[in-house]
Structure 1
Amino acid sequence: DDGQTTIAPAEIEKLFERFYRVDKSRSRARGGTGLGLSIVKDIIEAHNGQIVAKQSKIGGLIFTFKLPLQAKDS
């Protein structure tokens, strides 16, 4: 939860897509590759968890993830 500028609601789900970057004007020399949140989501889902992002009331985003206490039986 932070007070930074937020992104459009339609873009929130895209945050977890590979190579997606909110700020299209950032060059790769100064910005990321757009892989970080995609990797985080893959790891959490590999452990049968979930991750979501939503807008904060004070601006910015809130990221919430849930992991099960026990692994599902196969």
Structure 2
Amino acid sequence: MEKTYLTTDELAKKIKYDCRTIRERLKDSVLIEGVHYFRPFGGRKILYIWEVIEQDMRVSGHGFGIPMANGEVCHG
């Protein structure tokens, strides 16, 4: 299976979220390193794996939900 790697900006445009929301609310709570994204060559840059994110969005049935101030996600 060929994978599509996206930067934070590209992912934000694709899922209609703000870049800051992805970095501050979704990364490491909903989007997990090693599953949804990785850091190539151990650097600072982050690449997201679109196919995994898309699959997880469909499985939940609710998309990503609404990020809450306490770091959790509301799915209702």
If asked which structure has higher relative contact order (CA below 8 Å, sep 6+), I would say: 1
TM value normalised by structure 1:
0.28
Higher percent of residues as helix: 2
**Greater Cα radius of gyration, structure 1 or 2:** 1
